[in-house]
Amino acid sequence: MLLKFLSIALAAFLMIAPFGAQPVAAGSRAEKEAKRAEKVKASINKLGVGEGARIAVKLRDKTKLVGYVSEVKEDSFTITEPGAGKATVVHYPDVAQVKGHNLSTGAKIAIIGLSVGVAVLAFFLWLENAD
């Protein structure tokens, strides 16, 4: 009797189990592109704006842009080439790859402090040798 009950329970479980399982979807192409655009937007916001926010961007159409981020908007950002002054508006979904760097405030202060220290040391050495 127990064997018959277990057989029926197993058969019922095997018939119901496929309906309870949810298929795992990899996500639609639009969802993937939206995630990618959000990542690009986050990295641009982290980089900042101004001539210190140097950036190199490769677009999906294989175009490469190099310059600095001069403006950030909700759906796009602007790259300005330093020599030519040419500004190009880039929409986040059009970006394939972003490479950029910007010194933090602490790093800028450290560089300035070190430069001032070296200048003061050089001045005192010059005074010592001038006598």
Query: What is the residue range of 70's domain?
Result: 28-102
Residue 48 resides in a domain: yes
Confidence (pTM): 0.56
What digits encode the pLDDT tens for the residues 32-73? 888 888 888 888 888 888 888 888 899 889 889 999 888 888
Residue 75 resides in a domain: yes
* Domains in the chain, number: 1
Question: CA 73 to CA 46: how far, in whole Å?
Answer: 13
Residue 41 resides in a domain: yes
What digits encode the pLDDT tens for the residues 65-122? 999 888 888 889 999 988 888 888 999 898 888 887 765 666 667 778 888 888 888 8
What CATH code is carried by the domain that includes residue 96? 2.30.30.100
Longest dimension (CA), the chain: 113
- Long-range CB contacts (within 8 A, 24+) of 61-68: 61/94, 65/90
Residue 109 resides in a domain: no
| Predicted local distance difference test score (pLDDT) of residue 102 | 63
| Predicted local distance difference test score (pLDDT) of residue 47 | 82
Residue 115 resides in a domain: no
